[in-house]
Chain A
Amino acid sequence: MTGDVKGAAVPAVNHHPALIMRVKQIFAAHKFLWIFLPAVLMALIFFFIPIFSLLRISFYENVGMGVYQPAMRLDGYIKFLTDPFYLRVIFFTLKIAVLVTSISLVAGYPVAYYVARAEGAKKIICLLLIIVPLWTNLIVRIYGWFVILGQKGMLNTLLLNIGFIDQPLSMIFQPLSVVIGLLDMVFPWVLLIMISVMEGIDWSLIEAARDLGASRFQSFYEVTFKLSIPGVAVGGLFAFVWSMGEYAVPSLLGSSAQRTISIEVADQILTVLNWPFGASIAFTLFMISVSVLFISNRLTQKSADYMLR
């Protein structure tokens, strides 16, 4: 079952000799770089080359049932970006992503501030409480939301028992549950990013502002808030990319009416077996993610200038 991975990869690698040559050149020149060889090779063989493959397949023609043949057609992209059905899907995905991002930033900012300013045991406890969901796998957490939001689940039972409602609320398999699930996924990451940003702020600047006559709110706004914006923006961009590309949450916590880009992709690849079309959607998603990443990279450099790290 387990073949020799590196050996089997060679035929695929031979398709991209120029890239390999360039990498070889660079490594030959500086011996120090050899320590990165495994990491770079791994990224090259299992990420960059497959992405390139993905791009190529997205241009191919679909013959049906997982078979496709080489071609140079932009059908897939055009269909995805013009067909009203898919446009609705894109719009829905973006809507959800923006919602999740805004809520996580707005609600997360005060928490990040609180934790960054906390000290000693309080801080450690808070960090632990954030780390636990971070490392607990997503599926398990989604299951938890099933229990909480389900028809006979925790919230409904509670509300029925105290007489707040007469009939169980339909809280699951809704856009609402998708948003909740995505928030749960995104929060720990956004919190940690913002906490590390806040911790990088020199608190003596606030003292200086107070000393010069600024009120508590003013010094917060002028100093803390303004300095934290680039870092917060980075957090927001990550939240956006991950909400957009997340598959498990919408597929489990949403009904068939809530289709996101990721659900479409998975459908095309796994069910419909129209790989070229699926590849076009996937590559579009990839390009959006990468552009957002580059924007956040620029912002990180800007925030580094601010805080002279």
Chain B
Amino acid sequence: MDPSSAETRQRIDWPAVALTVVTVCVLTFILAPIAITMLVSFNKGSYIVFPPEGLSLRWYKAFFDDYWWIMVFKNSLLIALPTMAVSTTVGVLAALGYMKRTFRGRNVINLIIMMPFLVPGIIIGICLLMFAHRIGLSNTYAIVIAGHSLWATPTVFLLVQAVLSGYDFEIEDAARDLGAGPIKTFFLITLPCIRTGVLTAMIFSFITSFGEFSIALFLTAPATMTLPVQIWNSLKYEVSPIVSAVSTIMIVITLAAIAVGAKFAGVKTLSER
């Protein structure tokens, strides 16, 4: 019998341990700011001190009482909801077409749709700022919605593709064969079957728009300012402890969205690149 075989069982599997340690470190790193922000928002005193001096909800109350913050919050909603509608519609249609079959130019279509998402956000912000200036849409909600839709559609496109991998496109052929025209087929067959995918797409396009900063920075005016831009202002010029409360609210919204999305489409789908 090999005498070292008993030893090898006792010996620590160093590579595996190291792997686990690194993983824990990295995951902690990316989660730390989120966790800390949430903790700090319940701070009774000055925000930047940690550990908190005492627990209180005063900053949440201050947020809801502050006219400016509420207006900014409303603006974010006013922009995120139409963005959700536009980008979901456009993205779902594009994903359906893309996954149905291979065709010449499929790669080109993919590139055209994905490119706005792959270049840095400020580029889109700047381009649209200049564009809005030329067509007279500066400082409107519309141009921000346009910019955000441009940014959110690729996300929807990818998300719905992942959902469609389990969809049997042949049932559309069957519906046509039995007498349903293309429009009827879409509403009676396609849409009901991809329901969860569409819902998930709506949720995440909303989240994307709600939290988007770079594009909004360039395209919003004081009247149309969104939440992320206001937080940025706050951090840059006048630091208000309300920021921690606002941030926590946004984190909670995101967590809720992920929870719902994970239930509908599964965690795997959400992590497809």
| Cβ A35 vs Cβ B255 within 8 A | no
Q: In the complex, what residue of chain A is closest to B236 when comparing beta carbons?
A: A252
Given contacts A9-B135, A132-B255, contact A266 B247 (CB under 8 A): no
| Cβ A270 vs Cβ B30 within 8 A | no
Q: Which of A150-174 contact B (CB under 8 A)?
A: 150-154, 157
Pick out which of these stretches binds chain A: B16-24, B170-178, B191-199.
B16-24
For residue B9, CB closer than 8 A to chain A, the reply is no
**Which single member of B27, B212, B214 contacts A126 (CB below 8 Å)?**
B27
| Cβ A265 vs Cβ B126 within 8 A | yes
**Which single member of A107, A157, A245 contacts B119 (CB below 8 Å)?**
A245
| Cβ A3 vs Cβ B20 within 8 A | no
For residue B57, CB closer than 8 A to chain A, the reply is no
| Cβ A133 vs Cβ B31 within 8 A | yes
Query: Could you say which of B30, B98, B150, B210 has the most chain A C-beta atoms within 10 Å of its C-beta?
Result: B30
Chain A positions within 8 Å of B127 at CB level:
47, 50-51, 53-54, 282
Chain B positions within 8 Å of A183 at CB level:
29
For residue B204, CB closer than 8 A to chain A, the reply is yes
> Number of B residues whose C-beta is below 8 Å from A?
99
Please report the number of residue pairs spanning A and B whose Cβ atoms sit closer than 8 angstroms.
Answer: 302
Kindly state the separation between the CA atoms of A130 and B135 in the bound complex, as whole angstroms. Answer: 41
Kindly state the separation between the CA atoms of A3 and B116 in the bound complex, as whole angstroms. Answer: 23
Chain A positions within 8 Å of B97 at CB level:
32-33, 35-36
The residues of B with any CB-CB pair to A shorter than 8 Å are 15, 18-20, 22-23, 25-27, 29-37, 40, 46-51, 89-91, 93-94, 96-98, 103, 105, 109, 111-113, 115-116, 118-124, 126-131, 134-137, 140-143, 146-147, 149-150, 153, 157, 204, 207-208, 210-214, 217-218, 228, 231-232, 235-236, 243-244, 247, 250-251, 254-255, 257-258, 262, 267-268, 270-273
Known: A50-B127, A135-B211. 6 other contacts (CB 8 A): A12-B135, A49-B131, A132-B31, A187-B29, A241-B120, A262-B120
- 22 A-B pairs whose Cβ atoms sit less than 8 Å apart in the complex: A1-B140, A36-B93, A36-B109, A39-B91, A40-B113, A47-B116, A127-B271, A135-B204, A141-B33, A142-B235, A143-B243, A154-B36, A154-B51, A157-B50, A188-B30, A241-B118, A244-B120, A245-B119, A245-B123, A251-B236, A252-B232, A265-B126
